[in-house]
Amino acid sequence: MHRGCGEKLHADVQEIMLGEDQIARKVKELGERISGDYRGKEILMVGILKGAVIFLADLVRHVTVPVALDFMAVSSYGKASESSGVVQILKDLDQNIEGRHVIVVEDIVDTGLTLKYMLDNLATRKPASLKTCTLLDKPSRRKTDVVPDYNGFVIPDEFVVGYGLDYGEKYRNLRHIAVIKPEVYVKE
Ligand code: IMP
Ligand code: MG
């Protein structure tokens, strides 16, 4: 972990885990890998609202094959920072995915329960292929056998915010991925 150079710290941030430049380089690399792997094909990227929005927006600008976008919103019942595995679809896709090359884009895979549910659900709609791209992977907390096909960073078991990820809907706008101070949690 490092402090990041010249990045202004939000008062609630304890430590920067991944700096803005480090994230940007990785997202570019992921976009280039996907573009190579899907050469000659068209992709449908499905962003999981809301956490994946910023990652998807940056990622898609490094994709050089034709790409369409769609979104799903899901909520997992349970505490804010822990998913229960019971997932409810709050907003479904606008498009039919049958016969299409789908990549589900998610901010983080933690227990894997959300992604597993999404994949099982989307698979029943008969896409030509179905893959996953996550920015962050916290494998230590995995409760399913989900392994992202594309992943930016493997991180330790710490709750992180920024670059789309929130705590209580806050901090999505931070330009880096950060750990927030413990006292921020006890305030609520
Ligand atoms: P999973 O179902 O446990 O894999 O959790 C996936 C979802 O939990 C993500 O889409 C996030 O919304 C949320 N989540 C898990 N870990 C974190 C974290 O460290 N920071 C912010 N959100 C997280
Ligand atoms: Mg989320």
Helix axis angle, 20-37 to 53-60, nearest 10°: 60
Ligand 1 pocket, 107 CB below 6 A? yes
For the segment 27-53, the average pLDDT, to the nearest whole number, is 98
Listed range (25-29, 43-47, 80-84, 178-182) with the worst mean pLDDT: 80-84
Position 86 confidence tier, pLDDT thresholds 50, 70, 90: confident
Query: What's the whole-model pTM score?
Result: 0.92
- On whether the CB atoms of residues 108 and 126 are closer than 8 A, the answer is no
37 is catalytic: no
State in Å: Cα 71 to ligand 1 middle.
17
Q: Which residue has the higher pLDDT, 83 or 97?
A: 97
What CATH number does domain 23-155 carry, 3.90.1570.10, 3.30.70.120, 3.40.50.2020, 3.40.50.1370? Answer: 3.40.50.2020
Position 77 confidence tier, pLDDT thresholds 50, 70, 90: low
